[in-house]
């Protein structure tokens, strides 16, 4: 049965990558949350998707060029009724996870901005909070995926795939990833079957339409990554 993974939290209803969105995903009954990690100018790990703060906050500039204090002072857009919401620190999310049963998918956003040593730093953070068995790591950066595997974490490591014409199974053999997180637009039913035959879990993003969720759940998808987890949870309940 497909796991339901709340993409940046319950982001279809609440501001993405905020504690509110993560907490609401738990209330909804999701199997996991997904979040994105970058690093501030002063070296703090923060939870935000874009390389800049322009889209999701009232500020401007690159995350890497702003200190934690500057990042935390920004107001989250679309949070008119959530005035206390701030860009979370990874520490804050991990601390909260200690008292929840939900899994967490951590995407390392280091394919455009290369945060040196991020892999080891995040693994150490997760180990400090004793959450190794509840984390799945992922990245578009294949070097980062390889590094995570070399660091011998007990957690699963997935590479993110969004290009047609590339065989993810061959790529998996090269970098040693444990799973694939693919854009649903580049996935085919034949490729899904091939991955399943090789025991290679596939999770698709971002499945928001009920018809698409149904199609891929019927195909045996390992994980539905969605902005609207309630829709997927209802389908799973019906199945």
Catalytic residues: 7, 49
Partner residues linked to 202 by β-bridges:
180
232 forms bridges with which residues in the sheet?
Answer: none
Tokens 């854009």 locate to: 183
Q: Mark out the alpha helices in 81-159 (DSSP H runs).
A: 90-97, 118-128, 142-150
Distances from the Cα of 47 to the Cαs of 155, 167, 204, in angstroms? 19, 31, 21
Q: DSSP assignment, residue 56?
A: T
Are 69 and 44 in contact by the 8 Å Cβ rule? The answer is no
Helix (H, G, I), strand (E, B) or coil at 225: strand
In terms of Cβ atoms closer than 10 Å to its own Cβ (0-12, 13-18, 19+), residue 195 is: buried
Which residues have C-beta within 8 Å of that of residue 15, sequence separation ≥ 6? 21, 56, 76, 77, 78, 79, 82, 85
Question: What CA–CA distance (Å, rounded) separates 109 from 222?
Answer: 23
Separation CA 133–CA 147 (nearest Å) = 19
C-alpha distances (whole Å) from 22 to each of 26, 55, 104, 108 are 7, 19, 10, 18
């Amino acid at each position: 049965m497909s796991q339901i993974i709340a993409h940046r939290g319950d982001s279809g209803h609440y501001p993405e990558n905020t504690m509110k969105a993560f907490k609401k995903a738990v209330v909804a009954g999701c199997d996991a949350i997904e979040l994105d990690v970058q690093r501030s100018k002063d070296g703090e790990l923060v939870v935000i998707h874009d390389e800049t703060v322009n889209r999701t906050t009232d500020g401007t500039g690159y995350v890497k060029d702003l200190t934690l204090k500057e990042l935390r002072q920004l107001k989250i857009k679309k949070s008119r009724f959530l005035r206390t919401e701030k860009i979370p620190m990874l520490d804050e999310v991990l601390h909260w996870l200690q008292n929840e049963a939900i899994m967490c998918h951590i995407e390392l956003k280091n394919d455009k901005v290369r945060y040196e040593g991020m892999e080891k730093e995040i693994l150490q953070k997760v180990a400090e909070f004793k959450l190794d068995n509840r984390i799945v790591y992922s990245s578009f950066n294949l070097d980062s995926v390889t590094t995570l595997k070399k660091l011998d974490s007990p957690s699963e490591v997935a590479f993110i795939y969004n290009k047609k014409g590339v065989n993810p199974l061959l790529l998996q053999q090269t970098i040693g990833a444990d799973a694939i997180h693919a854009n649903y637009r580049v996935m085919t039913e034949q490729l899904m079957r091939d991955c399943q035959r090789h025991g290679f879990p596939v999770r698709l993003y971002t499945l928001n339409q009920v018809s698409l969720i149904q199609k891929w759940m019927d195909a045996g998808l390992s994980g539905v990554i969605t902005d609207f987890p309630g829709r997927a949870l209802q389908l799973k309940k019906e199945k």
